Amino acid sequence: MTLRQDLIVRSARSWIGTPYVHQSATKGAGCDCLGLLRGIWREVVGAEPEMIPAYSKDWSEPQGEERLWQAASRHLRPKGF
Protein backbone atom coordinates (compact mmCIF):
# COMPACT_ATOMS: atom_id res chain seq x y z
CA MET A 1 0.00 0.00 0.00
CA THR A 2 1.35 3.43 -0.89
CA LEU A 3 1.70 6.19 1.66
CA ARG A 4 -1.28 8.02 0.09
CA GLN A 5 -3.44 4.90 0.18
CA ASP A 6 -2.52 4.36 3.81
CA LEU A 7 -3.48 7.95 4.61
CA ILE A 8 -6.87 7.47 2.93
CA VAL A 9 -7.54 4.25 4.85
CA ARG A 10 -6.52 5.80 8.18
CA SER A 11 -8.72 8.81 7.49
CA ALA A 12 -11.70 6.60 6.59
CA ARG A 13 -11.27 4.49 9.72
CA SER A 14 -11.19 7.61 11.87
CA TRP A 15 -14.82 8.25 10.81
CA ILE A 16 -16.03 4.96 12.34
CA GLY A 17 -18.77 5.73 14.85
CA THR A 18 -19.90 8.91 13.11
CA PRO A 19 -23.72 8.74 12.94
CA TYR A 20 -25.72 9.04 9.73
CA VAL A 21 -26.98 12.58 9.11
CA HIS A 22 -28.37 13.46 5.68
CA GLN A 23 -26.32 16.11 3.80
CA SER A 24 -23.74 16.34 6.57
CA ALA A 25 -19.97 15.84 6.47
CA THR A 26 -18.69 16.37 10.01
CA LYS A 27 -16.57 13.67 11.65
CA GLY A 28 -18.03 12.58 14.98
CA ALA A 29 -21.20 14.63 14.50
CA GLY A 30 -22.75 13.15 11.36
CA CYS A 31 -22.38 12.31 7.68
CA ASP A 32 -24.08 10.50 4.85
CA CYS A 33 -22.39 8.48 2.08
CA LEU A 34 -21.32 11.54 0.12
CA GLY A 35 -20.42 13.38 3.32
CA LEU A 36 -18.01 10.60 4.27
CA LEU A 37 -16.21 10.95 0.94
CA ARG A 38 -16.19 14.74 1.27
CA GLY A 39 -14.71 14.54 4.76
CA ILE A 40 -11.99 12.12 3.73
CA TRP A 41 -11.21 14.31 0.69
CA ARG A 42 -10.77 17.37 2.93
CA GLU A 43 -8.47 15.47 5.30
CA VAL A 44 -6.30 13.92 2.58
CA VAL A 45 -6.41 16.42 -0.31
CA GLY A 46 -7.65 19.72 1.10
CA ALA A 47 -10.46 21.98 -0.04
CA GLU A 48 -13.29 20.45 -2.04
CA PRO A 49 -13.19 21.30 -5.76
CA GLU A 50 -16.74 22.74 -5.78
CA MET A 51 -19.81 23.23 -3.61
CA ILE A 52 -22.19 20.28 -3.39
CA PRO A 53 -25.79 21.15 -4.27
CA ALA A 54 -28.65 20.08 -2.00
CA TYR A 55 -29.91 16.58 -2.78
CA SER A 56 -32.80 14.39 -1.67
CA LYS A 57 -32.42 11.42 0.66
CA ASP A 58 -33.42 8.95 -2.03
CA TRP A 59 -31.18 10.55 -4.67
CA SER A 60 -34.08 11.08 -7.04
CA GLU A 61 -34.22 14.53 -8.56
CA PRO A 62 -37.93 15.30 -9.10
CA GLN A 63 -37.20 18.01 -11.67
CA GLY A 64 -35.20 15.51 -13.76
CA GLU A 65 -31.93 17.40 -13.30
CA GLU A 66 -29.11 15.16 -12.04
CA ARG A 67 -26.94 17.83 -10.43
CA LEU A 68 -24.75 15.45 -8.43
CA TRP A 69 -24.09 13.28 -11.49
CA GLN A 70 -23.18 16.38 -13.49
CA ALA A 71 -20.78 17.51 -10.75
CA ALA A 72 -19.19 14.05 -10.50
CA SER A 73 -18.69 13.87 -14.25
CA ARG A 74 -16.66 17.09 -14.13
CA HIS A 75 -14.11 15.47 -11.78
CA LEU A 76 -14.19 11.71 -12.46
CA ARG A 77 -13.41 9.51 -15.45
CA PRO A 78 -15.35 6.38 -16.44
CA LYS A 79 -13.63 3.13 -15.46
CA GLY A 80 -11.22 1.90 -18.12
CA PHE A 81 -10.16 5.29 -19.48
Q: Pick from 38, 44, 42, 47: which is nearest to 7 by CA? A: 44
Higher pLDDT, 32 or 80: 32
Query: What mean pLDDT, rounded, does the chain reach?
Result: 87
User: Quick check: 3 pLDDT over 80?
Assistant: yes
Structural domain includes residue 22: yes
Higher pLDDT among residues 27 and 58, named by residue? 27
Inform me whether the pLDDT recorded for 52 exceeds 90.
no
Report how many domains make up the chain.
1
Domain-located, residue 33: yes
Residue 80 lies in a domain: no
Tell me if 64 is assigned to some domain: yes
**37 — pLDDT class (breaks 50, 70, 90):** very high
By residue range, what is the domain housing residue 49?
Answer: 3-75
Residue 27 lies in a domain: yes
Model confidence at 73: pLDDT above 70:
yes
Full-model pTM? 0.74
Helix (H, G, I), strand (E, B) or coil at 30: strand
Give pLDDT, residue 12.
97
Whether 56 maps to a domain, the answer reads: yes
- Which residue(s) pair with 25 in the sheet? 31
Q: Considering the domain boundaries, does residue 81 fall inside one?
A: no
